[in-house]
A and B are shown apart, each in its own frame.
Chain A
């Protein structure tokens, strides 16, 4: 009797495209974690950065993403389930960012640029949005070198034919 795990067929054409539209530190991670997991499952991955998501791939900004508790009523104080008073939240970006970074580090989750390095090493593709680039006067040399191109919305739709799509 032999039992062999099913590692999927080698010619599977499953494809995942994730639109990363947020530049807050906490919202950078869902796309990175899912994209990385998809690659590890043999799924072709395309990350498309648009609007605020550009901060994840702009060289001068990507190391300094921040997390703000403002407007996020799900952030609780370390005492029971007490809410963080929203009136205090706007002043707490620095502290909240540091706390989140420490928590991620403790779980050995890489920082955003390092995480994207890993995704590219695993075969993931990075793309930037044409309109966002034009609006922000960003050119290719401002972006990570491994961004494969600044492409239009139509290019993206064409390229992701048959893909599963996720907007973050």
Chain B
């Protein structure tokens, strides 16, 4: 696994650039990851990211868009507005989590 430096910290990433260690993530890192994919984080973005982080801790895997809607209470439509085109993957990336595995 490659190790790269973000915000002055060494973090492990997979071959695509997704963080692989839950605890190596920080809010500062999230801001940088978001900027790299042209997203400026607002409170609405943070709501998604915090849900993803908390849910991963209990569910053990990254929430899909559907779960972010049904459990996290953030409508799919809003997710597409906040993280255009590929909300589930972009949210996961910024939240320092693996891509969601679920089909739905």
Chain A residues near B (Cβ < 8 Å): 1-8, 10, 33, 36-37, 40-42, 107-110, 115, 118, 121-123
Docked Cα-Cα span, A108 to B75, in Å, equals 16
B103 touches A121 (CB 8 A): no
**Which residue, A3, A40, A109, A110, has most C-beta atoms of chain B within 10 A?**
A40
Chain B residues near A (Cβ < 8 Å): 2, 4-6, 13, 16-18, 36-37, 65-67, 69-70, 75-77, 80, 84-90, 93, 102-104
Which 5 A-B pairs rank lowest in CB-CB distance, beginning with the nearest?
A42-B85, A3-B17, A121-B77, A121-B76, A5-B16
B86 touches A42 (CB 8 A): yes
B93 touches A5 (CB 8 A): yes
Chain A binding surface SS class: loop
Task: Name the distance in Å between A145's Cβ and chain B's nearest Cβ.
Answer: 16
Instruction: Find B66's partner among A1, A3, A110 (CB 8 Å cutoff).
Output: A110
Question: Nearest residue in B to A118 (C-beta to C-beta)?
Answer: B76
Instruction: Find A2's partner among B4, B70, B102 (CB 8 Å cutoff).
Output: B4
